[in-house]
Amino acid sequence: MESRVQRSEKAERVRVPFFRVALDEAEIEAVERVLRSGWLTTGAECAAFEKEFAEAIGGGVDAVAVNSNTAGMHLALEALGIKDGDEVIVPVLTFTATAEVVRYLGADPVFVDIDPGTLCVTADAIEKKITPRTRAIMPVHFGGLPCDMTAILRLAAARGLPLVEDAAHAFPTSHNGIPVGAHGSAAAVFSFYANKTITTGEGGMVVSTDKELIKRVRIMRLHGIDRDVFRRHTDKPGLWRYDVVAPGYKYNLTDIAAALGRRQLRRAGALRNARKAIAERYDRAFAKLPLVLPAQAGPGDADSYHLYIVQVAEGSPIDRDRFTAVLEAEGIGYSVHYTPLHQLSYWRDRYGLRDEDFPAATDYAQRCVSLPLYPSMNDEEVERVIAAVAGAFG
Ligand SMILES: *Cc1c(COP(=O)(O)O)cnc(C)c1O
């Protein structure tokens, strides 16, 4: 028979995972209803999800559901006519998808370093990278904090350049009291990947007030099929008739996923508040440790609290790798968001990128650790993370 001491030691060895999705019964039932309905792919659930998401963003946007943020960013750039030989400005600190979609179209990403305080890009840094070949700018609202959209929109308007926001971390995030997605950029693209702020398993949403862009994204999301074009040129009856206007893509979202998304959307505020409460506990507990804590949102701004990233400070007794070794020994899941693109071989070699060209992202990359931050964390798990982090520096 196990002694009580042995049992509690065993319990302590259970990992606190970096992330754990926790769906409620209403979400599971919504998916089940679709599974029993006889219709699985893009249909009424997707249409309702698009409408409800657009309403959540506000500002008169339309929304198009897609099967990933990556697909959505690809479609937005395609709709803007980005092509071979063009340049698109992209933060060097992002997930590879932001730059990858530029290459899908034969264009070249031009990388810009981050502001070390916010981990976002600034209008000043973007401006220095604009050339006669620049055709678009892709700000990333990093970790859930908004970029300074006021300054970036002003720059984009002055230079006549469209913005495609990578809003993968930014639901619900706002700047100057206005939700990300409603600032009037050409498009903002959200992610519903499993570990994002709301999820459909895999999924994404393109939002825009530009009716032409929305129309092109809708057509290209499903094979370039255009039913309206056909109807305009014929009076033949038959709902089966359609025309193909371009070699489009297979980027549509299923109704199974959309049903989950609609329920998650209703909980988005509560999920965000649950993450916020944990982030605030971490802030208090870590205040005296040699760690740089996440930047606070500016006045009028709101953070989605997607990631809780600490950076091991200058002069800390242990470096990042020693810190993560302690987390590992204590069974605390962690991650790194992200290795900056200039340190990944494809981007580094293709564009001859060097650490000294991106001092802020290079410095960040050797100090950063993302800690667990998700609504289903229980008190004991939060306390275990706090104890492990404090122990590492104590
Ligand atoms: C997750 C993520 C993406 C990709 O999202 P998918 O929905 O998985 O395609 C793009 N950019 C950033 C910054 C991300 O974190």
* pLDDT digit string, tens, across residues 123-176: 999 999 999 999 999 999 999 999 999 999 999 999 999 999 999 999 999 999
Ligand 1 atom with least separation from CA of 140: 13
* pLDDT digit string, tens, across residues 45-56: 999 999 999 999
- 292: Cβ–Cβ under 8 A, 6 or more apart, which residues? 310, 311, 312, 313, 367
* pLDDT at 78 > cutoff 60: yes
* pLDDT digit string, tens, across residues 202-218: 999 999 999 999 999 99
- Amino acid, res. 357: D
Distance 115 CA to ligand 1 centre (A): 20
Q: Is 204 in the pocket of ligand 1 (CB under 6 A)?
A: yes
* pLDDT at 193 > cutoff 60: yes
Q: Catalytic site residues?
A: 196
Q: Is 168 in the pocket of ligand 1 (CB under 6 A)?
A: yes
Q: Is 95 in the pocket of ligand 1 (CB under 6 A)?
A: yes
Q: Is 67 in the pocket of ligand 1 (CB under 6 A)?
A: no
What pTM did the predictor assign?
0.95
Residue closest to 225 by CA, chosen among 249, 192, 201, 200: 249
Ligand 1 atom with least separation from CA of 94: 13
Distance 307 CA to ligand 1 centre (A): 13
Q: How far lies 256's CA from each of 31, 194, 270, in Å?
A: 6, 14, 23
- How would residue 394 be classed by pLDDT, with cut points 50, 70 and 90? confident
Q: What is the CA radius of gyration of the chain?
A: 22
Ligand 1 atom with least separation from CA of 202: 7
Q: Is 170 in the pocket of ligand 1 (CB under 6 A)?
A: no
Say if CB 220 and CB 78 are below 8 A apart: yes
- Amino acid, res. 102: V
- How would residue 230 be classed by pLDDT, with cut points 50, 70 and 90? low
Measured distance CA(98)–CA(241) in Å, rounded: 36
* pLDDT at 262 > cutoff 60: yes
Question: Residue 164's pLDDT is what?
Answer: 99
Question: Residue 108's pLDDT is what?
Answer: 98
* Element (DSSP H or E) covering residue 69: helix 69-79
* pLDDT at 177 > cutoff 70: yes
Q: Is 120 in the pocket of ligand 1 (CB under 6 A)?
A: no
Ligand 1 atom with least separation from CA of 97: 10
Measured distance CA(383)–CA(377) in Å, rounded: 10
To test the pocket of ligand 1, the residue of 165, 191, 335 to mutate (highest count of ligand atoms within 8 Å of its CB) is: 191
Q: Is 200 in the pocket of ligand 1 (CB under 6 A)?
A: no
Average pLDDT (222-251) is: 83
Q: How far lies 387's CA from each of 162, 196, 207, 282, in Å?
A: 46, 26, 41, 10
Question: Residue 43's pLDDT is what?
Answer: 96
For residue 293, what are its two tokens?
A: 């804590």
* pLDDT at 3 > cutoff 70: no
Question: Residue 231's pLDDT is what?
Answer: 62
- How would residue 9 be classed by pLDDT, with cut points 50, 70 and 90? low
Q: Is 98 in the pocket of ligand 1 (CB under 6 A)?
A: yes
* pLDDT at 7 > cutoff 60: no
* pLDDT digit string, tens, across residues 267-319: 999 999 999 999 999 999 999 999 999 999 999 999 999 999 999 999 999 99
For residue 153, what are its two tokens?
A: 């929109």
Ligand 1 atom with least separation from CA of 169: 15
Distance 325 CA to ligand 1 centre (A): 27
Average pLDDT of every residue of the chain: 95
Cis peptide before 132 (omega within 30 of 0): no
Distance 2 CA to ligand 1 centre (A): 45
Measured distance CA(140)–CA(152) in Å, rounded: 12
Measured distance CA(326)–CA(329) in Å, rounded: 5
Question: Residue 71's pLDDT is what?
Answer: 99
* pLDDT at 227 > cutoff 90: no
Q: List, edge to edge, every strand of the sheet that includes 134-137.
A: 108-112, 87-91, 134-137
Distance 204 CA to ligand 1 centre (A): 9
Distance 93 CA to ligand 1 centre (A): 12
Question: Residue 278's pLDDT is what?
Answer: 98
Measured CA angle at 202 (ends 198, 207), to 5 deg:
65
